[in-house]
Every structure is written in structure tokens, then in C-alpha cells.
Structure 1
């Protein structure tokens, strides 16, 4: 068999290995320095965690907790090595992060030879400004997380667990990983002003795009929050609101920067200052006067009282106690600084106002940029106009505007119009070339390479065949069925989301406690839950994650009959089923009856018996059992609803046989069924190989029972309940 990777992918991997080897050779003599930086980062982080960080993180966790919650939550180590290994892992990551830039710097010669070292025309001071600004924003984002988000979030999560009857007993590993993940996410989210402003200033993404696509940004913020924050409405709002305000502030900052760049060539700062000298002088006087009144007319005392009311130990000192100068001189210095600050702020405002006025036709923010009247602009305005103003311009229109400019003796404007029209023509031709179907194979993008690689892999898997009995034939059927339900996607998704939201809301608002209490009451009297069985949360959001998974599973089960109803005509057309669509109701009723019957049997007899048997030895030895929330509720689910699902397996097999899926097909495809069950168990059950097999084995036993039932019903496969697929009716 040939390789499943195409030639482009193999060449890319080979080039990557060669580059990595060249980098190591180039930095060989300096690897000792790289290792020293790594070691400093590793040891520094290791001992900082031990001496300072753990206590700080615990104080952040407890900052907003009531005395009751603080007395009922714990942070534990599950094994003797948890803490030291966690410190080593964090130190290792920190050391690598610190050593990586040093390694890249020493291997720059190898990267430069391969064209991988950036040749930036940006001045060094600008790069330094970007790095410093990024670091400041990262610190601000992390500060919001530690001093606002984390305290309220942990108080809410721990209180929610206690109100449901669980013990918030957090594993130090899961607790620390959760905090550090959110720390990084807040730091990255805080880079939004720098990213938006930089992209707008460089015209990589025009400011108008960020302004007009704000709805997509709102959706992206909530999606980003769903990935990095707990899946509950309270913390989602605490995550999203600051980012929404940050996006709005970033838009305004980008507008200021872009406006200043577009109009800077036509504005002279000294000229503006000279023209508005009276406003600048007045603002400076006001600034100095405010500082004087603050110190001499009770402002300092009132501000210190306000700080004391909020519990702050910080105080504003008298003028003479800060600069080491006499009080009168210190007051004069502070007043001068206040006057300068007000004057500079006013100068920035009047300069920006002048720039905005000069580029008003471009930045008014009203209407479509393509509606700009190019004929009414001067030469500089034509050059600064957005590309959309020339996209729909014809050659005759461009020549007419240029001719009018020549008649007005404005040759510079005429040339600017023709240049911008030529740029628009080149852009249109480039877009047309990109849309052309004939693209040279060696000019493919990353997506092209991925497609070719995937196609090569599929060809190797199916050996180029697409019969009904191989994966290619099944893919064709699945694609046809999927296309048939596409028009009903909105309804299907709406039902799925409504059921998911309703189930989650019920569990979230006390349903999970109701299930817990009712189930404990069904246990035998020999098992005393308050003394023997404790349900604990090792992860801060463990209960919420279980609620989301369980809600998703319920929504999928409810939506499945609707999908079958809409897909039934396509199934009949592909000769997969024989019966009419109304049989979906028979299916739904039969499977629901099997599910409810198995659930009642499991809830009344099987689940209490199994749990009592599992805890019998612990009860006899006077031990205390602590179940994780996830494990305990999945145990309840598997021993109640799981029994119903097992009962549905033979029922579903009989129903499938009545639609044309033969006994021989189900018997011969048991391997594919096993793989599908394993995949289902991996997604919808707690992590762990043992749990996967505990789910897979009973389901496969039920599948075997179903085969036995079909063996009897179909007389060994000789008389299926409906003609098999591919046979004539």
C-alpha cells in the first residue's frame, strides 16, 4: 500500500524536519545559555508556586465566599505526588515559554537562510511599544480575572454545589488547571484593542469591517466564552460583558488611529495649536486650578475618606510629603503637572477633531463607501478613499472625472483617480483569476493539500471502489440522506436546542438535587447516605459539565424521531427501508415503551441493588465513600435509563429487519456496530477505558440477544420480515 499522505504533505514534513535540525545546529554553541534560561524559569516557578502562588490562589478563591461556604469546601490532593508533579509541570511549561525566544534568537541564522526570519520594516521602537502594550493588556486582563471574575465565580459554583447537596471538594490539579486556563484566556482576550487597532491601522482588516460586522463579533465573544468559561449563564455574562465593552472601546480607538493616519498628511499640529491657543491655555489653567483646589479645599480629605469607606489602605499624602520639597513648591509642581496634563489632553482632542474634519467624507460612518462622490474629493482624498469607492467605477466614469480635474488644472487629482482606477481593475482581475476553475496543482493552498491528502487516504481505504457494501457506497447514501433533510435543518436544530435548554434549565435550577434526593430514598435502610455516601465535586464545573452532557443526550434522543421522519422519503428512495413514513410513529412508540419499561425496572430494583452491593463492604468496615458527581450520576443513569436503552436494542433490531435490513447484514456487520458503540461511549460517558467497556459490553450483549431474537423470528434468516435491501419486491 502506498502512503496515505500526498506528495505535498510529505515534502512539507521533510522541510520541517530539516529546518528543526538546522536550528539545532545553528544554536548548538549557545544551547547552554538556552538551558540556563529554561532552568531559571523552571526552578523560579516551582518555588514561587510553593511559597506564594498557592496561598494567593486560595485567597482569590475564597474572596467572595460566605463563612458557610468556606467551612464546607476543600482543596485536596488525590495522591501523594499531586502537588509536586503539578508544580513540576507548570515550571516545565514556564521554562519552555521563557527559553523558546532565546532559542529562536540564537538559531536566527538558519531561519534567515530559509526565509523564515521576519524582515520587518517596522522601527525597533514601534515593535517595543507593541510588546509593552501587549504585556500591559495581558496584565489588565489577568487582573480582571483574579480580582473580579474568579472570586464571584468560585463563590457561585461552590454555593450551587452545596445547595444541590454536594460537597465542593476540589482536586488541586483540576482546580489549578482550571484557573490557569482561564488566566490565559483572559490575557488573550485583553489583546483585543491592540489587535483591532493594529489590523485597522495596517489596513489588513479595514476599520469599517470591524464596525459593520459587530454582530458577528458578539457571537464570536459568546462562543469564545463558552469554550473557556463555565457553561452557566452567570459566568457567561461576567465573561461576555467586559469583552463587549472592550470591543466597543477598541472600535473607537481604531477609528481615532485610522482617522489620524488618513488625515495626518494634511494637518500640522503646530498650526492647530497656534489656531486654538486660547482653548489650550484655558484648559491648562483649569487643570492647575483643579489640582490646587484638590489639595487646599478639602478634596484630598474627601478622597481619602472615600478610599477608607471601600476598605483601601491607600491614602493621598500632602504635597510636601511626596517630592521632598517645601509644601508650597510641591503644590506648584503638582499644579504645573495638572496644567500640562489638561493641556496635552486638550491638544490631542483639537488635533483629532481637525483630522476628523479633514477626512469627514471618508469617516463620517454614514452610508456605503461605494457611494462616496469621488469627483468632490481633492487629490489627497482620492488617495485615502476606501477601495469600495472605485469597485463599481467604469473606465468612462474614471476618464470623465480625470478630464474634469485636468480642466480645473488639478493634474495631481487626475493622476490619482486614474491610479486608483487601475488598482481597482487589477483587483478585479486578480479575483477573477482566483475564481477560475483551472488552478495549477503546484499552486495549491493548504486547504488544497488537505483535500488531496484526505482523498488519497480515502482511496487507499476503499481501494477506489464505491459499491454498496463498502465505505464509498455508504458515504453516497449518507450524503443523499443528509441533503434530503437540509431544508428542515432549522426545525431540527430548533427542537434540539429547545429540549437541551429546557433540560439544562431544569437540572440547573434544582432538578439534579431532586433526582439525587429521590434516588437516595430508594436505597435500602442499611445504607445511610448522610454517613456513608458523599457526592463530591473534584472540578469546579463538574456538575455543570454533567448537566450539559446529559441535556445533550436527552435532546439527541428527542430529536432522533424528527430526523427519521424527515429523512424517511430519502431512505425509501435509496431502498434502505420499505415501509411508509407513518411507521416512524410505530418506531417512536415501540422504542419509548422499551425505554420507559427498562427505566422503571432499573430505578425500582436494579440500581438500588447494584449500589447496595457496591457499598456493602465499605458499610461493613465503617468506611466513608466519596463519589464524584459525574461518576455517581452516570452510575444512576446507566442503571436506570441504561436498562431501557438495553431493552430498546433488540426492539430496534426487529424494527430494522421489518424495514429491509436483513438478519444476515446485522450479523455480518457486528464489527462496525462495536466501533460505533465504542465511539458513543467515548463521547457520552466519563473518561476512562474501563467506563467505555462497561458501556460497550452490555450493549453488545443486548445486540447479541437481538440477533438471537431475529434468528428465531426470521427462521435463521430465511424469512426476513421485509425483503432485504437490493432485492426485488
Structure 2
């Protein structure tokens, strides 16, 4: 039997196994040292968590909480082994991270033989600088998370849960994993200046790419924040804003470094210092005077008072108490240091200005090739000029410059200008033609291959190729209305989320408890807890998205209706959308009232009956409890809409026989939907699938009666106006 992997993949895996084996053999004699480092990291992390870290994380969590919130939130262990297993897992990861560099170092011989080790030596000071910078940036990112982000975020999340009537009872596993995930993400995000500067300096990614693609960077930052931070606007802004400022600072730093690299060979630092000696001397006087005035004119007392008001114990000492010298001499020393700092800063500024001037001077024709002044060049210069110098010229401009050269008597230059302009235009036209042909050919081949794989070359109306053609045609017809559809979707999502977020979820919860029978009092099911810090917010986002999708579907149908009619999928006119929407809304509301009034209370009562009789404490997770309410209320309405929708589809031309014959495809589709949009678990998936299939069976029964066994469908004749 042939392998499922292609030859290249097999070779890559084989090379990876060989490299791993060679690394183990090369480091075999030093594996004991690697294991010792791993063990130190494992045990150190294990006991640090036990003795210090848990208390520190709890203090960070409570830093901005009010006394009321602190008294109503808890961190719990769900099983007897939660804490010790969590400590072991974190210690294991820490030990592996610490031991990995040591293992790679001891296996460097095997990597060197396979060309995976740098051949040219790197200066130790460069490695030390990169390592120190990486560590400082990582620590800075973590510091922002622990001293700014986490305290405000946890106070907000816990306060929101309590105001909704729920108990923020965080599982120590989920709470710790959430904190550590955000910690790592903050540390990695803080590496942005080093990454952008390094990539720009090495010209792996040009600085101009980071500068010109800043809009994509902003989108990426918010997407990254949506993945790692809670899904509410407040914490996402707290996440994204520092990264945006960091990106801007990284761009400036990369510009400085790249400019210095490109122009450093043209600039002599001593020459710049000699030329700007007056500026340097003035900065020295200014620096020394600033230090003197700070101590002699009340600056020290004012700054110490500011530190005292902020609660800090740090103070700036008098000059005579720091260096062991007299106050006058100490003040002179500090003034000299201030002057030196100002001189160094000013020197860096003027040298950078000289580098910028050398790399991209203001006179035309240097730096940016598109700004090259062709009229100032001779014939040889025109022939040697880069193509970009002619790419921005129009035909009239090129003729004007050539005419000026003719007027000057330089016919050779005029001919060179026209030749280079014609060459540039031909290259541009050829490039555009090749790009268009390549894109068209690729699109044609991809589309043809895709359809051939789906349909084995057939694209008839009754096979999957025909369905694909219909779907592509319908999607294309609503493309121009995408903005309106998205606006409606976002407005409904934001409105629903805002209502739930500002107390609507509490109203739903209390209203549902009022529907329960007297045998199950609200006090017995009042314990709805949040085991994860963002559990309530995630439910609100998912529920809001579902409501927005339901509201937007009729609008999508309204705009897609002409295409559906043109493809003979429906027969009625577009006004039928209002009939569909009204019928489905009535079915949804009727099923919701039935579920909210009778079915949901009966299901909850049956589920808690044994626990109530045994006098147990009932504590439901927010997500499980509210999805149960949704499935037993709005879910009943959705089930009621299934037969209604089948009758409506029959009136559009989909026959009873087609619906009965396609029950397998419907089952697969419902299973896929349940697997994606329901809480995790096989049982939950089948709890959704079985009622939907039962409703589908009821719809077939209704259609059997309405269509007289399929002999008389509700669809009008083709071409009839309805």
C-alpha cells in the first residue's frame, strides 16, 4: 500500500529523525548535565509556585478589586490533584525551556556537520547584547501585564459576573493557565522592537515594508489581542494600545538603525563633531546648568515631594551625601556628568542627521531614484540611471526633457532620454501582461482543478458542480450589498452584547428562575458559577453572534432572491421574503413561549430533583446553564421552524420527494453544525442532532399530508408570477 505522504514529506521527516538522533548521540556524554539543568528548573519552579507564586498571583488578581468583590470571588480546586498536577506541568515546561539551550549547545557538532550551525563566528558582545535586550523586553512586557493589565482586567471581570448575579469561582487550573498564557503573550509581544529592528537591519524584511504596511499591522495587533485577551472592548483596548505605541516606536528605531547602516560609511563621527563643535559646547553648558539649577533652585525638594505623594520611599539625596566629597565638589561632579550626558545625546543627534543627509540628501537625484532630476545628467548619466527614474514620467514630461536637451544642443542626451523612456514603458507593459496572464491562468487552472476534483469533470445542475456554480453565482450577486449586511450584523451583535453586558443576562436569569415550580426554589439553583475568568463574556459574545446571524439571514435572503429566482431555485417574487420571515418568526416565537413556559422549567426540575432531595449544593457553570436554557427555549422555536421551513421550501419548487430522498445529506449537515456550534462533547452533539432530525421527520409528515403523498407540490408552475 502506498504511503499517504509524498516523497518530499517523507524525506523531510527522515532528515528530521536523523538530525535528532545525531544530536542525541553528540550530546550523549553530556546528557547528565542537561538532565541536572532540567531538574533544577523543574524543582525550582515547583517549589516557587508552592511558596511564592500562588500568593503573588492572587495579590495581582485582587490588586484593584473592591472589598465587596474580594469577598465574593474564590479560587477553587475541582479535584484533589489539581494543584499538584498543575505545579508539575508548569515545572516540566520550565525545566524543558531551561534545558533546551544546553542540549543544543552540547549537540552543536552534529548540527555543524549538517550545516545547521552558524559557520561564521559571531562577536560575543553582539550575542550578549541580543540576549540582554531580549530579556529586558520580555521583563518589560510581563511588568505591564502584572502591574497594569491583570489588576484592572480581573477587577472588571469579577465585578461584571457579580453584578449579573453569578459567583466568580475560578478553577485554579483555568485561572493559572489564563494568566500564564497572557504572560507569555505579553513577553513575546514586547519583542516587537527587537524583531522589527533586526529584520530591517539584516534587510530580511525592508524597513519600508513595515512602514508602508502599518494598516495591516494594526489589524494583526487587534486580531492577536482578540485571541489572547478577553473578548470585551475594554481589555482589548488595554491590550492593543501599548502594542500600537510599541509598533510606532519600533518603526522609528528601525529607521534610525537602517539609516545608520546605509549611511555610516559616508560619515566620520570626529568630522561631524568638529563641524558642530559649537552645538556640542552649548549642550555641555546646558546640561551642567540644568543639574546645577535642579539642586540649587528647589528641583530636588519638589521631586522628592512628588515621590512622597505617590507613596514611594525613594528620595534624591543631597550632592554631598553621595560621593563622599564636599557639597560643592559633589555638585560640580554631578554637573559635569550632566554635561557629558547632554553632549553624548547631542552628538548622537547631529551624527544621525549627518547620516540621513548622506543617505538621502535633499538635492534631487540622490536617495530616492524616483526623484532623480534627469535634466541635470549628461548622456552617460541618463543611460546609467535606474529604471525607477523614468517610471514616474509621462510621455509629455519625457518629450519636454528631451526637447530641452535638443535646445541645449545635446542631441545624444535627448536620444538617450527617449530610448530609456521607451525601454521602461515596454518593460512595464510586459510585466503587467505577464502578471495578468499568470493570474488568469492560475485562477483558471485552480478553478478547473477544483471543479474536476469535485465533479470528476461533470458540472451538471444535479451534481455538486452544479451546486457550486449556483452558490458562486448567488454569492457574487450579493457582493455589492456586503457592506449593508455587515453593518446590520455588527449593529445587532453590538446591541445584543451591550444589553447582556449591562445587566440583560441577569434579567434573563432571574426571569427564568421565576418560571420554576415551587418544588425547586430559586435559592436551590442560584449557584451559577464562572470557573474561567472570561466565561461569562465568551457566552455573551457567542449568544450575540447567534442572534445577529438570525436577524441578518432575512436581509441576505432579500438581496440574494433575484439570483435564486434566476437560477430556478425559487419561483416567487422577492416580496415572498417577507412571508418567509413572518412565518419563521411566528414559529420561533411560538416555540420559544412553549419552551420558556413549560419545557425548560420541567427539564430543570427533573435534572435537579435528585440533588434537591439529597440536599446537595447545586452549582452550574455559566455556559452549561445558559446553553441549557437556550436549547430548551429558543431551541424549541428553532425546532418548530424546521417543518415551517420545509413547507416554504416546497412552495419554491423543492419537491417532497427530494426532501425525503436527501435525508442522509441533511443528517450529515446537522451533525457538522452540531459539532461546530454546540458545547464540546459527543452527548451534546447528539442531543442537538436527534431533536433536529425528529423535527425533520415531522416536516416530512406534514409535507406528505399537504402534498397528498407528493403528488401535488405547493410550488407554482415554472415561469408563473407569484
TM-score by length of 2: 0.85
* Aligned counterparts of 2:676 and 2:486: Cα–Cα separation in 1: 20
The structural deviation recorded for 1:468 is 4.3
Alignment check: 8 A CA contact 1:226 1:236 kept = yes
Is 1:54 the equivalent of 2:54?
yes
Counterpart Cα distance in 1 of 2:82 and 2:705: 56
- Pick from 646, 655, 670: which aligns with 1:677? 670
**CA displacement at 1:50 relative to structure 2:** 2.0
* 1:21 is aligned to 2:11: no
**TM-aligned CA deviation for residue 327 of structure 1:** 6.5
Instruction: Go from structure 1 to structure 2 and tell me whether the alpha carbon gap of 1:467 and 1:165 turns closer, same or farther (over 3 Å shift).
Output: same
Kept in 2: contact 1:356–1:363 (CA 8 A)? no
Does structure 1 residue 504 correspond to structure 2 residue 502?
A: no
**Larger CA deviation: 717-726 vs 465-474:** 717-726
> Could you tell me whether the CA contact under 8 Å between 1:578 and 1:660 is conserved in 2?
yes
Partner of 1:625: 618
Please identify, of 533-542 and 82-91, the stretch whose mean Cα deviation from structure 2 is larger.
Answer: 82-91
Structure 1 range deviating more: 309-318 or 506-515: 309-318
Residue 698 of structure 1 and its aligned partner are, at CA, apart by: 1.2
Q: Is 1:574–2:567 an aligned residue pair?
A: yes
8 Å contact kept, 1:606–1:640: yes
**In 2, Cα distance between equivalents of 1:310 and 1:421:** 67
Offset, 1:376? 6.2
Q: Aligned pair 1:234/2:234, yes or no? A: yes
Aligned counterparts of 1:26 and 1:195: Cα–Cα separation in 2: 31
Counterpart in 2 of 1:587? Answer: 580
Q: Sort the Cα spacing of 1:472 and 1:153 in 2 relative to 1 into closer, same or farther, 3 A.
A: same
- Confirm whether residue 11 of structure 1 aligns to residue 4 of structure 2: no
Corresponding residue SS for 1:72: coil
Kindly state the Cα deviation for residue 557 of structure 1 after the two structures are TM-superposed.
0.7
Tell whether the 8 Å contact from 1:361 to 1:372 is kept in structure 2 after alignment.
no
Contact 1:549 1:684 survives alignment (8 Å): no
Q: Shift of the alpha carbon at 1:232?
A: 1.3
Aligned-pair CA distance for 1:82: 1.7
Contact 2:454/2:465 (CA < 8 Å) preserved in 1? no
Deviations 1:435-465 (A, max 9, x none): 37579x9xx9xx99xx98x998986675555
Cα displacement string for residues 351-387 of structure 1 (whole angstroms, at most 9, x for unaligned residues): 22333344555699xx997345366699xx99xx998
Cα separation, 2, equivalents of 1:665 and 1:280: 88
- For residues 423 and 611 of structure 2, the distance between their equivalents in structure 1, rounded to whole angstroms, comes to 80
One of 467, 470, 482 as aligned partner of 1:489: 482
Q: 1:141 to 1:77 in 2, by over 3 A?
A: same
Secondary structure, in 3 states, of the residue corresponding to 1:75? strand
Aligned to 2:152: 152
Cα distance in 1 for residues equivalent to 2:352 and 2:422: 32
Counterpart Cα distance in 1 of 2:348 and 2:240: 31
For CA contacts below 8 A with separation 6 or more, give which structure has more relative contact order. Answer: 1
Q: Which moved more, 1:77-86 or 1:715-724?
A: 715-724
Determine the structure 2 residue equivalent to 1:411.
none
Instruction: Flag structure 2 segments of 5+ consecutive residues without an equivalent.
Output: 409-416
Deviates more, 1:606-615 or 1:593-602: 606-615
Question: Residues 239-278 of structure 1 correspond to what in structure 2 (within 5 A)?
Answer: 239-278=239-278
Whether contact under 8 Å (1:369, 1:389) holds in the other structure is: yes
Q: 1:349-368 residue pairs with structure 2 within 5 A?
A: 349-359=349-359, 361=361
Distance 1:492 1:577, change over 3 A: same
Give 2:700's match in structure 1, choosing from 696, 707, 715: 707
Report deviation, 1:73.
Answer: 0.7
Question: TM (normalized to structure 1)?
Answer: 0.84
Query: Aligned pair in 2 of structure 1 residues 554, 71: CA closer, same or farther (>3 Å)?
Result: same
Structure 1 residue 281: Cα displacement: 2.9
After superposing the two structures, state which structure 1 stretch, 563-572 or 641-650, moved more: 563-572
Q: How do 1:202-241 residues align onto structure 2 when only pairs under 5 Å count?
A: 202-241=202-241
Deviating more after overlay: 641-650 vs 483-492: 483-492
Counterpart check, 1:525 vs 2:518: yes
Do 2:288 and 2:337's aligned partners in 1 also have CA atoms closer than 8 Å? yes
Q: What's 1:171 paired with?
A: 171
Please name the residue that 1:412 is paired with.
Answer: none
State how far apart, in whole Å, the 1-side matches of 2:377 and 2:129 are.
35
Q: Which residue does 1:655 correspond to in 2?
A: 648
Deviations 1:49-86 (A, max 9, x none): 22222211111111111111111111111112222222
1:193 is aligned to: 193
**In the aligned structure 2, how far is the partner of 1:426 from the partner of 1:273?**
49
- State the alpha-carbon separation in 1 of the partners of residues 259 and 239 from structure 2: 31
Give the corresponding residue for 2:468.
475
Q: Is the 8 A contact 1:196 1:250 kept in 2?
A: yes
| 2-structure distance, mates of 1:456, 1:484 | 24
- Deviation string for 1:596-617 (max 9, x for gaps)? 1111111122212221222222
C-alpha distance in structure 2 between counterparts of 1:319 and 1:111, whole Å: 56
Aligned length: 700
2:609 aligned to 605, 616, 635, which one? 616
* Deviation readout 1:464-489 (Å, 9 max, x if unpaired): 55454543332232222222222221
Q: In structure 1, what is the Cα distance between the partners aligned to 2:713 and 2:245?
A: 65
SS at match of 2:167: coil
Could you tell which deviates more after superposition, 502-511 or 707-716? 707-716
Q: 2:137 aligns to what? A: 137
Name the SS of the counterpart of 1:184 in structure 2: helix
Structure 1 unpaired stretches of 5+ = 408-416
Superimposed CA distance per residue, residues 677-705 of structure 1 (whole angstroms, 9 cap, x where no aligned partner): 22322333222222222212211111111
Question: Which residue in 2 is equivalent to 1:555?
Answer: 548
| Aligned 8 A contact 1:532 1:619 in 2 | no
- 1:174, 1:539 within 8 Å by CA — same for their partners in 2? yes
Question: Does the 8 A contact of 2:451 with 2:459 survive in 1?
Answer: no
Mapped contact 2:137–2:190 kept (Cα < 8 A): yes
The verdict on how the C-alpha distance between 1:341 and 1:438 changes in structure 2, with shifts beyond 3 A counting, is closer
Q: In 2 relative to 1, CA 590–94 (structure 1 residues): closer, same or farther, beyond 3 Å?
A: same
Q: In 1, Cα distance between the equivalents of 2:356 and 2:462?
A: 69
Q: d(CA) in 1 for partners of 2:369 and 2:549? A: 46
Cα RMSD (Å): 4.3
Kept in 2: contact 1:596–1:644 (CA 8 A): yes
Alpha-carbon spacing, 1:560–1:114, altered in 2? closer, same or farther (3 Å): farther
Match of 1:410 in 2: none
**Within 5 Å, which residues of 2 pair with 1:86-101?**
86-101=86-101
